[in-house]
């Protein structure tokens, strides 16, 4: 090994110390800059963060997607709280919620949410509104607590059939288990590696204020959120749980699909077919394609999401 290689190895401890110190400072700064929104509720040995507003049954409960805190729903919750009680929460390790041991199953996540709502005094019936990976958790919650769920809005939901039916998006086996990935993410996060390599903040959607948009992106990049995300799954196991949850009976269901998703044409066609089948798993189901929207429909077309939530809420009230 030449002298430059030796010098690089010798510098690693110093770089690690600098990285760890910088990360502690950044976390302290974020805690001051972004105080908690909502309130922490004990569900036993842990506390989860919940934010609710408005009044009127049924209670709308928002479930976010992969590595996304509940704060993601802020502009939409502000609008739906005008016609019904509306709540978002942070899954374990996300936002301002305590972490939980990895791996995390969909049943455990659904159980956390159920315990949180009851401990906080948020009364059923619930309308679950879930985006992306959150669709798995909402479906498992519906199966586990069917008497408490009055309706569902699934927004470009994840599919358990993605590996077998979307031929252009082959199934990939992760190199590590969720627990292993969480350990790696925790180590890298301690030394500030994810923050150093984080992507630039995306363009702000019109429905977001500049300060709230900065806060959302900061929360998504917190090491705790990356660790929590790594510990959920693996994806196919979550999908298997959702498949086992079965259909929806006569519960009102509305599935919103992104028609401008970043998928090959054949995979997009198959995804839309899967979403239609998911809606048809309820005798009171509907599937709607948002032709110009990408995967993040709540950011790109919030008016459509509010319309979908109101539609299901009104159908529940008529029942």
CATH number of the domain bearing residue 306: 3.40.50.1820
127 in a domain, yes or no? yes
Token pair of 151 as six digits: 């309706």
In this model, does residue 28 exceed pLDDT 50? no
Cα–Cα distance list, 241 to 103, 110, 276, 297 (Å): 14, 11, 20, 25
254 in a domain, yes or no? yes
Nearest by Cα to 127 from 58, 216, 214: 58
**Total residues belonging to the chain:** 319
3 in a domain, yes or no? no
Per-residue pLDDT of 195-211, as tens digits, reads: 544 555 678 999 999 99
289 CB-contact burial (10 Å; exposed 0-12 / middle 13-18 / buried 19+): middle
Q: Who wins on pLDDT, 68 or 173?
A: 68
Alpha carbons 37 and 218: distance in angstroms, whole number: 14
Split into its structural domains, the chain has a count of 1
Q: Which range marks the domain in which residue 231 is found?
A: 8-318
pLDDT at 182: 47
95 in a domain, yes or no? yes
Per-residue pLDDT of 269-285, as tens digits, reads: 999 999 999 999 999 99
Nearest by Cα to 313 from 20, 14, 18, 59: 59
Alpha carbons 166 and 155: distance in angstroms, whole number: 19
Q: Who wins on pLDDT, 260 or 35?
A: 260
2 in a domain, yes or no? no
pLDDT at 222: 87
pTM reported for the whole predicted model = 0.84
Nearest by Cα to 312 from 13, 58, 19: 58
263 in a domain, yes or no? yes
In this model, does residue 79 exceed pLDDT 60? yes
221 in a domain, yes or no? yes
Please compute the mean of the pLDDT values over residues 144-172 and round it to a whole number: 83
Phi, psi of 157 (to 5 degrees): -70, 155
Q: Spell out the residues 6+ positions from residue 5 whose beta carbon is closer than 8 angstroms to its own.
A: none
Strand-strand pairing, 39-42 and 47-53: antiparallel
Helices marked H in the chain: 3-33, 74-80, 106-119, 134-144, 162-165, 178-190, 193-196, 210-220, 223-231, 235-244, 265-280, 297-300, 302-318
Per-residue pLDDT of 46-55, as tens digits, reads: 999 999 999 9
1 in a domain, yes or no? no
């Amino acid at each position: 090994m030449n002298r430059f290689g030796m010098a690089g190895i010798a510098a690693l401890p110093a770089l690690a110390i600098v990285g760890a110190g910088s990360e502690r400072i950044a976390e302290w700064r974020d805690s001051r800059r972004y105080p908690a929104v909502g309130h922490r509720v004990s569900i036993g040995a842990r506390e989860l963060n919940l934010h609710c507003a408005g009044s009127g049954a049924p209670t709308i409960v928002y479930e976010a997607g992969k590595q996304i805190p509940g704060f993601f729903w802020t502009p939409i919750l502000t609008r739906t709280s005008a016609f019904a009680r509306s709540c978002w929460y942070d899954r374990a390790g996300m936002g301002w919620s305590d972490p939980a041991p990895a791996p995390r199953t969909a049943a455990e996540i659904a159980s956390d949410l159920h315990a949180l709502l009851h401990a906080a005094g948020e009364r059923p019936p619930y309308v679950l509104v879930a985006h992306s990976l959150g669709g798995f958790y909402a479906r498992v919650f519906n199966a586990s607590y069917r008497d408490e769920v009055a309706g569902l809005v699934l927004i470009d939901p994840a599919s358990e059939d993605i590996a077998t039916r979307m031929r252009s998006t082959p199934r990939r086996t992760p190199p590590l288990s969720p627990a292993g990935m969480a350990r790696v993410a925790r180590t890298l996060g301690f030394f500030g590696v994810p923050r150093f390599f984080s992507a630039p903040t995306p363009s702000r959607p019109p429905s977001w204020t500049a300060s709230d948009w900065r806060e959302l992106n900061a929360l998504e990049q917190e090491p705790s959120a990356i660790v929590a995300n790594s510990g959920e799954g693996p994806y196919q196991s979550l999908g298997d749980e959702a498949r086992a949850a079965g259909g929806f009976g006569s519960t009102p269901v509305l599935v919103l699909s992104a028609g401008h998703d970043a998928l090959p044409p054949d995979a997009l066609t198959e995804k839309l077919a899967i979403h239609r089948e998911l809606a048809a798993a309820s005798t009171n189901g509907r599937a709607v394609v948002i032709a110009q929207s990408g995967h993040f429909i709540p950011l790109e077309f919030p008016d459509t999401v509010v319309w979908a939530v109101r539609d299901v809420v009104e159908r529940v009230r008529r029942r």
